[in-house]
Amino acid sequence: MFKKLDILDDKDRKANKILRSISKEVTFPLSNEDKETIEQIIKHLTYSQIEKYEKKYNLRPGMGLAFPQLGMLKRIIVIVHEYEEGKFKNYVVINPEIISNSTELVAAEVGEGCLSVNREIEGYVPRFARVTVQGYDIDGNKIKIRAREDLSIAFQHEIDHLNGILFYDRINKNRPFYNESEIRLI
């Protein structure tokens, strides 16, 4: 059975305080509650990217979610990446950190969105075109993931959540848009 997640909204003062907090490192083994939450997130994100379920359950499309967005200040992120029409790859990373990045910057041409920000925010969010993320899988095994383009953006966005940063914090207030000679739009 599908249960819609209760995702915090940054406009709610109490929720914003949680979203602006730094999450704590996670120890292993993971609790059953954390494992169940991860499964719920994967299902929610997958359904949100399939039009039939998105409409049926009234979901906003999203490809990533961090535990703080559910009010849990734990360093756990989940990304469900649709790499081909109807084909998804799940990334669950505990205690993730970016260990290397490209110098090239990219930005999502349509702008970034967030399941905790229920409004349009104009401007480009500069992100590294490629990152290598290190962390642990749900069993506590060390993992390393190389991500590029939209997947790289998703990892940076979700890791920001663990540090109390929302995507619009990274938009230049004085100059929210760039031209293509300054930043590559994807």
Q: What is the dihedral of CA 7, 63, 151, 160, to 10 degrees?
A: 0
Give the model's confidence band at 16: pLDDT under 50 very low, under 70 low, under 90 confident, else very high. very high
Specify which residues 97 forms β-bridges with.
Answer: 134
Specify the fold of 13-185: Peptide Deformylase (3.90.45)
- Candidate list 104, 158, 180, 182, residue with the active-site label: 158
Mean pLDDT over 39-67 rounds to 96
pLDDT over 90 (residue 11):
yes
| pLDDT class of 181 with cuts at 50, 70, 90 | confident
Q: What is the DSSP string of 99-147?
A: EEE-S-EEE-TT---BTTB-S---S---EESEEEEEEE-TTS-EEEEEE
**The model's pTM:** 0.96
Whether the predicted pLDDT of 1 surpasses 80: no
Average pLDDT, the chain: 96
Query: Contact 86/70 with Cβ under 8 angstroms?
Result: no
Examine the residue annotation and report whether 36 is marked as an active-site residue of this protein: no
The pLDDT tens digits for 32-42 are 999 999 999 99
Structure confidence at residue 2 (pLDDT) = 86
Contact 146, 134 (CB under 8 A): no
Interval 96-152: pLDDT, tens: 999 999 999 999 999 999 999 999 999 999 999 999 999 999 999 999 999 999 999
pLDDT on residue 179: 86
Which tens digit of pLDDT belongs to each residue from 66-104? Answer: 999 999 999 999 999 999 999 999 999 999 999 999 999
Per-residue CA distances from 46 to 31, 54, 62, 80, 110 (Å): 23, 9, 8, 6, 21
